[in-house]
Each structure stands twice: as structure tokens, then as C-alpha cells.
Structure 1
Amino acid sequence: MGRDVSARVFSREDRRIYRDKVRRCLDVFARLLRESRFGFDQPLVGLEIELNIVDARAEPTMRNAEVLNAIAQPDWATELGQFNVEINIPPHSFSGDGPRHLEDLVRQRLNLAEQTAASVGGHLVMIGILPTLKEDDVREGTLSANPRYRLLNEQIFAARGEDLHLEIDGVERLDTYADSITPEAACTSVQLHLQVTPEDFPAHWNAAQVIAGAQVAVGANSPYLFGKELWRETRISLFEQATDTRPAELKAQGVRPRVWFGERWITSVFDLFEENVRYFPALLPICEDEDPVEVVDRGETPELAELTLHNGTVYRWNRPVYAVVDGRPHLRVENRVLPAGPTVIDAVANAAFYYGLMRVLPYAERPIWTQMPFAVAADNLFTAARYGLDARIYWPDLGEVPAAELVLRRLLPLAYEGLDLWRVDPVVRDRLLGVIEGRCLAGVNGASWQAATAESYAGLGRGEALRRMTLDYVERMHGNEPVHTWDRPG
């Protein structure tokens, strides 16, 4: 969840002062790392889920303020578009029946929120990109009222100096322009958090980068945008383009995008924050009163507000997070590659697959990332986003193999081992990882189900086919049966 800010106009002096403050924060962050001040009692997990709001016809409705007022719970928040909301699940242990508790908690909160939203004419949908979304739904006038989003919109377009060019070649081709960042609101995701020590952070981040392609291949759920069938996980390409501060000339010069996979394996969490400061100008140069040097000299923990705000405007697919909890600094890896949905059990199964792998791969005697170039891991992500379960992904000792084969042969056994190390109840473990196995054996994930179901309605025309498919999707989403078991009506 992004930090709230006030509306304002930034001066050149604001930017200079902010740059100095961010660098001061970075120096203090390095000092905190050297002095080992970080808290860590046990590995904790948490997640955020972004959702769409639709009306009774499964078309987007701009009512997030009304829906949030009706829900009236602190763990719900606005997102970028007026047709978006977000729920934040607090950190907790993943051991024992933790995953089952997580599933129950999410289902209870979503069910209650759905009932409440329905009272104001809205319904919540967990899906990577809402298939019924039209270009007119993502304009500046449909940004949420939170000043943070208006400021981001202004600053990104001030940096670009021109409209956004959205161009995606997939099953079909999209080529259009946007005059605001609101197309980013089409991208709704599940974000998985894992608390780690500073010493263990590099291995965990590197491992998360390695498995990003496999995660997307099995979890893809975003095949449509503006009525066109594009990638299996179109969200990956759309998010990158919708927040791009670079005109074509800066892209040609090799300037890095703000939605970024990265360019190298790391040896310290400091590497990532230092890259942020070195490569990316401030979008929101807002300074707080805290002097981090004075705070740390007193033996207290600084918030490092400028550094964390800047980090929040660099959208890495695996992002480092610094936070202060009960007066102690904490570090988390925030995994951002997965779309929302299709069901709560699918989302928790995706989480179990990720957390299981993250309990094994970072501790391997010969780390997997030492056996493959960084660029290959990036290629795996984008290939998986384009083709989903039909992607061919590179893995050391196997070469390029079908994504489903990689998961079944190599990654699922590691995930089982990892959940055993978490001490997850075997019944819970088998149920969740069985969902991942079922998708691979059936060759079905959310994206392939959407495409096949829409095709069954093709005689009605594309727009009506997508609306009918979305209605079918919403009905099955509430049933909470894994997507690979869904039938295809029509």
C-alpha cells in the first residue's frame, strides 16, 4: 500500500533538498546494516490483494469511495483507479495450519466486503485485468481521489513530456495512447511479503528473481485488455508501460524503466536502495522533519521516510521494503509478479508455492542464480507472461523446458520440501500444492480458462463474449474451487 501524500507543487529547491535528504537516509541505512540493528524473531509472511469493482453486468463501476465507506475497515484502502480497492493482510506465521488460517481469513474478509459493497451497487472481483474494461474507463477523471495518485500522474507526465504509448503484441495487437497513468489501474495483483534478516536478504531476492517466470507461468490470469486478447499475463507489459517516465529517446539511450526487473544479482540489500538513488529521479520530492542521523545517534530507529517514499516509486517486480515495527527496523522482500485471483484458494496456493521455494532455494549449497545469467531470469519472466503454461523456460541442467514440466519435475518437489521446513500441516501442504500440480497437469490456469470460455461465446461478438465470460468467472470465483477444475459454459 502506497504512502499518502498531500497535493502540492514542487519547486527546483524541493528536488535539491530531497535528493540531499535521500542520500543522507541512504548513509544511515548503511550504518543500520553495519550495526546489525534489524529485528527478526521468526520468518513472517503477509499479503496485499488488489481487486476490481464491477456492477451487476460485470462492467467496471467507479465507486471505490462508496465501497470503502460501506466496508469501513482499516485494512481496506484505495488503489489507483476508482474501480479498484485493496485489502492488506497483516503479517503472521506460515507454519502449522498458517496457510489454512490465511485462506479462511481472506475469504471471511472478502465475503463480508462483498456483502457490504453490494449494498452500494458494487461487486468485488479478483482478476489480473478486468476483461470488460474499456479505454474510456482509464482516463484521468477515473483516478482515485487520493492526492498521491494525482501527484504521481502529474510528475510522470512532466518527466515524459508526451502521452503514454501502449503497444503490446500478443495473440492480437494493441497500439494506443493514454493521457494519464490510469491504465496502470487495470493491473490488479497479489503482493507477497516475506520478512528476512539483512544477511539473508540477497539470497532471498536473487531466488525470487529466479522463480518469477515459473510463478507467472502457473499463475497467469490477465489475457485481455481493452477487448483484445494479448499475453497470458498482459499485466506485466501493461504495468511497465503505464508508469514509464521515458520518451522514446531516453529508452534508446538505455535509461532504466521505473517498472524494473533489475540487471544483476545482488550481494546486499543496500545494492537495491543505492541503485534507486543512483538511477531514478524523484517523482514525489517530499521531505519530513526527521533528521535520521540525529535519531540513530540517540540509539533510536529512523523512519527513513524519504528513502522509503522514493523506493515506493521504483516498481521492481521483487522490491525491497524497509519498515519500522514497534521501534525496530525490519526488511522484507515484496514479491509483485502475481495477478489477483482467480479464487482465494488459487491465490493461497500461489503463495504456498512461492513461500515453499523461498525456504529452500536461498539456502542451496550451490545457489541456482550462480548457474544462470541474470538476463535469462528476466527473459523467463517475459516469456512466461506472454505464453503462460505454454512458455518454455530455461533452467540450469534442464535447458529450455515447458513451464509445466519445470514445475512438476523440479520446482514442486522443492516447494514440498520448503513447506515441510516451514512445518506446514501435511494435509494443508498437499491441498495447496495439489492446486499447482493440477494446473500443470490440466494445462489450465486463469488466463487459459478465460480465453477458452470467451471463445465459447464468440458468436455473440467480442464485447458481449467478454462480459458473459466475466459473469461466469465471478460466479466460480465465489465458489472457491481451483480454476483448473472449472467447467466452461456457453
Structure 2
Amino acid sequence: MPRAAHSGRDASMGEKIVAGVFDLSDRHRYRSKVQQCLEALERLLGERRFDRPRNLMGLEIELNLVGRDGMPSMVNAAVLERIASRDFQTELGMFNLEVNIAPHRLGGRVFEQLAEELRAGLAYAHRMAVDTDSGIVMIGILPTLGTGDLVSANLSDVDRYALLNDQIVTARGEDFTLDIEGVERISCMFTSIAPEAACTSVQLHLQVTPTRFADVWNAAQVIAPVQVAVGANAPFVFGKEVWRESRPPLFQQATDTRSVELRAQGVRPRTWFGERWIGSAYELFEENVRWFPALLPICDEEDPLRVLDDGGVPRLQELVLHNGTVYRWNRPVYGLVDGVPHLRVENRVLPAGPTVTDVIANAAFYYGLVRALAEDARPVWSRLPFAAAAENFDTACRYGIDAELLWPSPRRAGGIARVPVVRLVQDELLPLAEAGLDAWGVERADRDHYLGVIEERCRRRVNGASWQVATYHRARESGLERGAALAATTRRYCELMHQGDPVHTWPVGVAVRAARSR
């Protein structure tokens, strides 16, 4: 499934990105073209022109490059040249890569197949990275990444990133303030969007029909806090321990085009959870156009309404591009394959890693649970206020696997209870995920193996974030300074990640012994 955001792959749009020159007429024309795209989308939905259900899912993972010392390595161009595969692409920072797994049909042994493909691809890429004295690691935020690494000079040498940075900086009109208070507090300022590159994620795609889209998106919103809590893997930002999953607040602040005054007026951020349940896919696209000004007003030559009148299907390039610059945690995506349009829900809440097994377990849990909840006769979102779901997301990011979430009470009609996420998963959500995977036709061996990983994480209360924190504190208690402890933790993380056993089985404290032996 092609990436929706900042693709720049269309020739005419790519040429305009290279030029990078906008004037007032560009923005006026772009606004008009986006409105035409919206009208065309509404017509396509009304005419039921979309692809039939094919149970297709897709997977993208953002990666970090690190040296043997555990520090970030700014060599993605050299690594990509050695990899020489279209499956691997640049990402925002020079220490980032992205791997895209081809779409698969949900069913059978799909998750084991995905795991094998991912292991093979990452192992090959890692071997190529070793030639540059670096390696590949899947982690939400690299613990050793410092503020000095996140400067404009370390953005990937790609025109679309430079242009996006320029446009966000111009819209902001002042330096970016990052301020996150958790176990410790970070407070600093940046002149570019480079801190966004610190956040590396897993993106899960699910193709759905227009009639099912709203239920699937609402279900994905409901379970996003659970995904974050169970899968948290980003407890450190610039060397300080903050939230258990620190990517969401960091990403939001690093892409925030609002001044202090606009925030005070209630202007919505471009990175956000949302504010209501929806009734159709169109509502999300329309909200994105209505609330967010264009960052990249690049116009294609296509006349979408004329294409429709002539019996064709438009690409809706302006709408797709604009939609890719609004960073919803569950994003609506319009795509076109072989002349047939389709809709996808892009789930963006999970951090990368820790291992391939953990990533695939997170995916199995998501796809099973979203299927079961979307088909529930009494959906959770009909019993849970949206504000409670938004609060859950914040709580899950702060506390990870120790979070307590708001959830409809089975004992009291209309009641809401605060439940430990591990109990919620074990007692209610894992059985639902099992039923959902059965409905997709996933074989029992895959279902039980990967959901068993989620169950064990909850039983042991261990995920990537808790392991990183425990290992780091063990290192500090042994006498290592902060920087040395973070580097030792990162090196040990990389070693265990490549061994491949799921994170709930990882021993704590080995990093200290390894550091002492140096």
C-alpha cells in the first residue's frame, strides 16, 4: 500500500516540489482544487465506485541507524545505496529509514509469513548497514539521541522534506518549543521540525469499504490507548525519562504550526487524536480541509470532476497530499490501484520494535480487535464518551503498561469504570481479538502464538518501555553516568532485538556487565 503522506511520486507534483516556490495564487488555486477533490470524493462514495472487500492489510516500519557505540548514525543515504531495494526508503532524519511490506490478505498463516519477510528484509538491510559501521534498530525513540543530533543539517537530503520543513516553520512563525513533563522534564527549543525524526513508528493499514469505514475507524480510536499501553517503547527523550510512550507529545509539539495565541484560541493541532466519533469516511476528509490550511499547495493538472464526468476515476492528488499533512493517529486514506479507488484506515499509534515478533504480535492484536469491535452489536463507542477515549490515550502514553483506562462497566448500565489495562486486555480484549482473527480466517497457530505474546506482556507487566527503564536504572545504580547508562542500555537493546526473542523474555541488567567490561 503506497504511503499517503509526502509521497511526491507523481511526476508533475514532484517537479513542483523540487521548484519549491509558492505564491498567493498557488494557495488560492490549491484551495479550489481541494474543494473539487472533496466534491469528487462525495460523488464516488454516492456512486459506490469503491473496491470490493478484499481483506487487505499493509505494514510500514520506521527504523533508526546506530553505530556500534549505540549513538545515532547519520548515514541513511549510504545505507540505502547499498540496500538498493524499493522496499526501503528515506525518512525525515539522516539516521532514519523506512521499510514497506507489500499488502497481504488477512487469513491463513499471514502473520508468520509477514514475520518471515520482515526478518529477511531487516537482516539484509542490517548487513548492508554494517558496511557503514552502523546497524538497524527498531525502537520508538533512540535513548542516545540528543538535541544536537536534531538540527536542519541532519534532515535527509530530499526536496520534499526541506520543503515541508520550510512550510511548517513559516506557518509557525517562531521557534518550536518542546516541553514534556513526566518522570523528568524536557524543555528546549528548535528552529526546525527535526525533532519529529526522533519518533519512529509502525503503521498498520486496513482496506475497508465505505459502508464499514466509520465503524472500523471508531473501533481503531477506541483501542488506540490499549495499543499504546501494551506496546509502549519510547520512555526517553533527549536522554531524559519522561512518558512511557513519549512519541505522541514529541511529535505533536515538533509539528505544531500554532503560536501560543492560536493555541489559546482553541485552534486544533495538526497532530491530534480527534474530538468525536464519526459516521462516514467523508467527514474526516472534510474536517481536514475545513480546519487545516495547506502546507504544500502543489496542484496537479487533473480536473477531478471532468474525469468523473468522462467515466474515469480521479487520483485526487491535492486531497491526498493535504490529508498526508494532517497527522491523525488513525488517518483516513484514499488510494487508487489499477483504476479502482479504495479507502484505508492507517493506524499510526504504535512505536517501532522491539522485535519482529513483538511488531507482528501488536499487528495481530490490532487486526483481530478492530474486526471484533467494529462488528459488535453494541459498539464500545456508543457507551464511551469520546472525551474518555482521548483521556485514555493521554493516560496510556504517560503510564504505558501500568495505565488504568476508562471503560464501559459491565456491572452498571451506562457506567464507566477505571480498569488496569492489563486486566482489561486479559479479561475482555484478548478473547475479542481471538474472535476477530477467527473471523478473518487466520489459522489458530498464528492466532495463539502472537496473541500469546500480548498475554505474556500483560501477565509479566513488561514491554519495551518498562525494559528500557529497568535496564537504565540498573545501570545507573551500578555507578554509570547518565550518558554511559543510556548507551549501555541501547547497545544491549540492539543485541537482544537482533536475537529476536520477544521483549517480555529479555533479561534486565546485562547491559551493565557489558558496560563494565569495556
- TM-score by length of structure 1 reads 0.99
1:59 paired to 2:77: no
Q: Which amino acid aligns with 2:430?
A: L
Q: In structure 2, the residue corresponding to 1:14 is in which secondary structure?
A: helix
Q: In structure 2, the residue corresponding to 1:244 is in which secondary structure?
A: coil
CA displacement, residues 170-216 of structure 1 (integer Å, 9 cap, x when unaligned): 00001110111000000000000000000000000000000000000
Partners of 2:53 and 2:209 within 8 A in 1: no
1:360 paired to 2:376: no
Q: In structure 1, the residue corresponding to 2:52 is in which secondary structure?
A: coil
Distance 1:145 1:296 in 2: 38
Q: 1:179 aligns with which of 167, 176, 191?
A: 191
Q: 2:114 aligns with which of 79, 86, 102?
A: 102
Q: 2:455 aligns with which of 423, 429, 437?
A: 437
Q: Which amino acid aligns with 1:37?
A: R
Q: Which amino acid aligns with 1:158?
A: T
1:188 paired to 2:188: no
Q: 1:296 aligns with which of 302, 308, 320?
A: 308
Q: Which amino acid aligns with 1:103?
A: A
Partners of 2:308 and 2:314 within 8 A in 1: yes
Q: Which amino acid aligns with 1:178?
A: F
1:120 CA displacement:
2.1
1:280 CA displacement:
0.2
1:479 CA displacement:
1.2
Equivalent residue number for residue 434 of structure 2: 416
Stretch of structure 1 that moved more, 64-73 or 397-406: 397-406
Q: Which amino acid aligns with 1:409?
A: D
1:421 CA displacement:
1.0
Equivalent residue number for residue 3 of structure 1: 7
Equivalent residue number for residue 114 of structure 1: 126
Q: Which amino acid aligns with 1:408?
A: Q
- TM-score by length of structure 2 reads 0.94
Partners of 2:243 and 2:399 within 8 A in 1: yes
Q: In structure 2, the residue corresponding to 1:359 is in which secondary structure?
A: helix
Q: 1:407 aligns with which of 425, 428, 434?
A: 425
1:234 CA displacement:
0.4
1:121 CA displacement:
2.1
Q: In structure 1, the residue corresponding to 2:59 is in which secondary structure?
A: strand
Distance 2:43 2:445 in 1: 44
1:462 paired to 2:482: yes
Q: Which amino acid aligns with 1:427?
A: A
Q: Which amino acid aligns with 2:489?
A: M
Equivalent residue number for residue 147 of structure 1: 159
Q: Which runs of 5+ in 1 are unaligned?
A: none
1:294 CA displacement:
1.3
Q: 1:480 aligns with which of 500, 503, 515?
A: 500
Q: Which amino acid aligns with 2:472?
A: A
Q: 2:178 aligns with which of 149, 160, 166?
A: 166
1:12-411 maps to which residues of 2 (within 5 A)?
12-397=24-409, 399-411=417-429
Q: In structure 1, the residue corresponding to 2:257 is in which secondary structure?
A: coil
CA displacement, residues 254-275 of structure 1 (integer Å, 9 cap, x when unaligned): 0000001111111010000000
CA displacement, residues 245-302 of structure 1 (integer Å, 9 cap, x when unaligned): 0011000000000001111111010000000110000000000101111111121111
CA displacement, residues 212-254 of structure 1 (integer Å, 9 cap, x when unaligned): 0000000000000111000000001101110000011000000
Q: Which amino acid aligns with 2:449?
A: R
Q: Which amino acid aligns with 1:481?
A: D
Distance 2:423 2:251 in 1: 28
Distance 1:94 1:451 in 2: 35
Distance 2:321 2:52 in 1: 23
1:40 CA displacement:
2.2
Distance 1:359 1:153 in 2: 37
Stretch of structure 1 that moved more, 146-155 or 445-454: 146-155
Percent identity reads: 58
Q: Which amino acid aligns with 2:128?
A: T
Q: Which amino acid aligns with 2:7?
A: R
Distance 2:204 2:473 in 1: 32
Distance 1:314 1:170 in 2: 26
Partners of 2:256 and 2:269 within 8 A in 1: yes
Distance 2:272 2:506 in 1: 34
Q: Which runs of 5+ in 2 are unaligned?
A: 9-13, 411-416, 513-518
Distance 1:41 1:371 in 2: 28
1:41 CA displacement:
3.9
CA displacement, residues 94-134 of structure 1 (integer Å, 9 cap, x when unaligned): 20101100110111100011111111222111000000100
Distance 2:311 2:133 in 1: 52
Q: Which amino acid aligns with 2:407?
A: W
Q: Which amino acid aligns with 2:23?
A: S
Stretch of structure 1 that moved more, 2-11 or 34-43: 2-11
